[in-house]
Amino acid sequence: MTADSTDPSYWLNWRFLLCAIWVLVGIVIAALLIWRYEGRNKSRNKPNGNEEEAAGCLYKNEPWETCWKWIHPIWLLSYRIVAFSALLALLLADIIIRGGGIFYFYTQWTFTLVTIYFGLGSLLSIHGCLRYCYDVEPERDSNVCTDAEHGSYVPLTLGENEDTTIVTGNLDHYDEPNCRPAASVSGYTLQILFQMCAGSVVLTDSVFWFILYPFFTAKDYRLSFLVVCMHSVNAVFLLGDAVLNSLRFPFFRIAYFALWTCVFVIFQWIIHACVSIRWPYAFLDLSSPYAPLWYLAVGLLLFPCFGIFTLIFRIKQCYLSR
């Protein structure tokens, strides 16, 4: 029988203390990483006098351009619109069938986040494609790079001229021409959302298919079409976007993924402190003597989950740099 989570003794013990320490340490480290590395204007001077890009640097064309010079940005726009429409339809269907209580689960939090990412990505791609068609093409034909102060630029591709973007083996840094303006707040928001989604999707789907699904199979549980989609379609769409987009993937932004997960855990604690109901995931139950180990294990699991997409981006960059 599940312990009464509204009883003070459920919380006033060494198990919750250790779990709270894990969560608090995660929040503090994440906050320090964001404070240390985040910010569009945080750059350093190299010994040779040149300015080194900040770890989270993003340029104005990168949220909507593809990383492949032979793929027009309109294809990324089309992909994002299709992904957003499909994900929104699945999310609405899930809400209609199961009700608003689905947001009790981390899966729906993640699925909603991915849907928001593709929605914002579609808007930025629309804006970028309009600029590409009406502003940039005439300039590109004359090989002119507009000054950053005017807020426009030429989308540069490999091999176009000596000032084009040089893709290096370093995932987080590029040699960029000075004429390229930094991305807007919405562009940085898109990049942060993408990195949060990347880690969250891998965590959600891996926990479901490798931990929860075998347990369901032992009990002859039948998966519905909607449940399968909720734990697969988001990952497929996000992987496709990762292959097409020209966003960067600085590792320090694992901090946002960690904060997102910690917020969900604290959300669950608040609910269970007020109402004694079943935990959405058994490893969150604080009544188990192994709870601190479970919490620590899930916290450490964030690194390989985020690292999978980091590896994907490194492989892509190595291929592009050839």
Note the pLDDT of residue 41.
53
In a domain, 1, yes or no: no
Confidence of residue 158 (pLDDT cuts 50, 70, 90): very low
**Closest listed residue to residue 254, CA positions, set 13, 31, 40:** 31
Note the pLDDT of residue 113.
98
- List the domain range (segments joined by +) for residue 204: 8-320
Residue 147: is its pLDDT beyond 50? no
Average pLDDT over residues 207-227: 82
Confidence of residue 218 (pLDDT cuts 50, 70, 90): low
Q: What is the pLDDT of residues 4-49, one digit of tens each?
A: 999 999 999 999 999 999 999 999 999 999 999 987 555 555 555 5
Note the pLDDT of residue 276.
93
Rounded to the nearest angstrom, the gap between the alpha carbon of residue 146 and the centroid of all alpha carbons in its chain is: 32
162 DSSP assignment: T
Q: What is the pLDDT of residues 89-102, one digit of tens each?
A: 999 999 999 999 99
In a domain, 2, yes or no: no
Most confident of 32-46, 108-122, 163-177, 202-216: 108-122
The residues near 34 (Cβ < 8 Å, ≥ 6 apart) are 252, 255, 256
Q: CA-to-CA distance for 315 and 313, rounded, in angstroms?
A: 5
Note the pLDDT of residue 52.
62
Q: CA-to-CA distance for 53 and 28, rounded, in angstroms?
A: 25
Q: Give yes or no for a contact between 146 and 112, defined as CB atoms under 8 angstroms apart.
A: no
In a domain, 18, yes or no: yes
**Closest listed residue to residue 320, CA positions, set 159, 167, 164:** 167
Note the pLDDT of residue 215.
78
Residue with tokens 């849907």: 115
End-to-end CA distance of the chain: 60
Note the pLDDT of residue 154.
40
Residue 299: is its pLDDT beyond 80? yes
Residue 216: is its pLDDT beyond 90? no
Average pLDDT over residues 170-199: 77
Note the pLDDT of residue 181.
84
By percentage, how much of the chain surpasses pLDDT 90?
66
Residue 160: is its pLDDT beyond 80? no
In a domain, 73, yes or no: yes
Note the pLDDT of residue 155.
41
Among 20-24, 149-153, 281-285, 311-315, the range scoring the smallest mean pLDDT is 149-153
Q: What is the pLDDT of residues 229-286, one digit of tens each?
A: 999 999 999 999 999 999 999 999 999 999 999 999 999 999 999 999 999 998 999 9
Structural domain count, the chain: 1
pTM summary value: 0.84
Give the DSSP per-residue string, 195-245.
HHHHHHHHHHHHHIIIIIHHHHHHTTPPPPHHHHHHTTHHHHHHHHHHHHB
In a domain, 240, yes or no: yes
Q: CA-to-CA distance for 234 and 227, rounded, in angstroms?
A: 12
Q: CA-to-CA distance for 261 and 198, rounded, in angstroms?
A: 13
Q: What is the pLDDT of residues 122-137, one digit of tens each?
A: 999 999 999 878 765 4
In a domain, 198, yes or no: yes
In a domain, 21, yes or no: yes
Note the pLDDT of residue 162.
38
In a domain, 229, yes or no: yes
By percentage, how much of the chain surpasses pLDDT 70?
80
Higher pLDDT, residue 132 or 73:
73
Higher pLDDT, residue 254 or 162:
254
